[in-house]
Amino acid sequence: MKRTFIAAAAAVALLVSGASAYYLGTNRPAAPQATYVLLDGSQRTTADLKGRVTLVNFWATSCVTCVGEMPKVIATYDKYHAQGFDTLAVAMSYDPPAYVVNYAETRKLPFQVAIDNTGAVAKAWGDVQLTPTTFLVNKRGEIVKSFVGEPDFADLHRLIEKLLKEA
């Protein structure tokens, strides 16, 4: 019984130390390499994200939660953009490009919007299937946090503010 308890305590200690190392920035995974085709036809790569805190949001015009959270994504971009924050909205491969263009234009999305025609970008980011799926990337190009579903925007804002202060 005592050995089981010691083994369990050791396992918990390892998990806690690993989790704290992850959130303290020592074991953060790099954002995957991908090429993004923006609505204007230009291309960006994951390397272009470095130097700014970036929210990479996988979404679809047919996703009720995505459409519902978009005003908060816009407000977050507007609040932090001048401080070094950016947003890249990646429309899923099944989303008709005409719908994405119409949505971006009618809602006046202020950030970059990419269309993932082939699904390669979603695949590179861990085979994203559910929308919205959002990743927060720090200035060094490391994934700090990911969300499936709408994030708690108050918590997200606190984390963005912390990351913006990092070198």
Average pLDDT over residues 81-109: 97
For the residues of 125-154, what is the DSSP string, one character each? TT---SSSEEEEE-TTSBEEEEEES---HH
pLDDT tens-digit series, residues 101-160: 999 999 999 999 999 999 999 999 999 999 999 999 999 999 999 999 999 999 999 999
pLDDT digits over 33-84, tens only?
999 999 999 999 999 999 999 999 999 999 999 999 999 999 999 999 999 9
Options 1.10.760.10, 3.40.50.1820, 3.40.30.10, 3.90.420.10; CATH of 31-165: 3.40.30.10
Residue with tokens 């799926």: 133
* pTM of the full structure: 0.83
Please answer whether residues 66 and 131 qualify as being in contact, where contact means their C-beta atoms are separated by less than 8 angstroms: yes
Give the DSSP H or E segment for 25.
Answer: none
Partners of 55 in beta bridges: 87, 136
